[in-house]
Structure 1
Amino acid sequence: MEATKSEEIQLRCVEKDVLIPKMMREKAKERCAEKVEAFNHCCKESGLLMVFKCREQNAALKECLTFHYKDLEFFEQCKQEYISEKLEFERTGIPAKNRQQKLPTSM
């Protein structure tokens, strides 16, 4: 039943054009973690010369991220996850980031 519910959800432009792409960027960074790490490592070691010395790592990172940004299946996956989070928020009133936090065991 939930699958039909998520198919019926009408997303606002801000959700389709801003919020879901933001989720895609975050997930793409996770999927490209190796390239992100290589670029960060190069930048730390190169200092001010990073613009010149890290071109190869930067190009590899951009290529990886762009691959995911253009993947329609990845967009659909993020869209469905966004809809699930939205429905859960409507049901509980608790944002996704707060749902994942553990309550303190003692006060």
Structure 2
Amino acid sequence: MDTPNTEEPHLRHVELDVLIPKKMREKARELCSQHVQAFSTCCKESGFLMVLKCREENAALKDCLTKHYKDPEFFEECKQEYMREKLEYERTGIPTKKRKEKLPTSM
């Protein structure tokens, strides 16, 4: 008796340990962009003293990023996005970044 294939496709080690976490870091940086900007501004203004002067901004940035990295729902969201991109690549042969570049600017 055949059972319907409701399992997700198997993900390789590199996908689970490298590619999906990379996507999580990219998305988390976007979600924490105000903290990234504050830390960057502080570092530019502080020069060599940034280690001392930007502790608060650095801590806020780390807290924001860590909150996303440890969120199982965020991991699942990024995994599903990765799977969609992977399936689309298998279907078209065009990587996601290239596909975005080819879209016309005026539609």
Q: Same fold (TM over 0.5)?
A: yes
Matches within 5 A, 1:20-59: 20-59=20-59
Change (3 A) 1:43 1:6: farther
> 1:102: Cα distance to partner?
2.6
Residues 85 and 96 in structure 1, CA contact (< 8 A), matched pair in contact too: yes
Q: Which runs of 5+ in 2 are unaligned?
A: none
| Structure 1 counterpart of 2:62, one-letter code | K
Instruction: Could you tell me which runs of 5 or more consecutive residues in structure 1 were left unpaired when the two chains were aligned.
Output: none
With normalisation by structure 2, the TM-score equals 0.89
Distance 2:85 2:10 in 1: 14
Relative distance call for 1:5 and 1:41 in structure 2 (3 A) is farther
TM-score, normalised with respect to structure 1: 0.89
- Aligned identity (percent) is 70
Residue 15 of structure 1 pairs with residue 18 of structure 2: no
* Residue identity in the other structure for 2:38: A
- Give 1:9 shift: 1.0
Deviation at 1:49, TM superposition (A): 0.4
- 2:75 pairs with 1:75: yes
- The number of equivalent residue pairs is 102
1:101 is paired with a residue whose SS is: helix
Distance, in Å, in 2 between the alignment partners of 1:6 and 1:27 is: 28
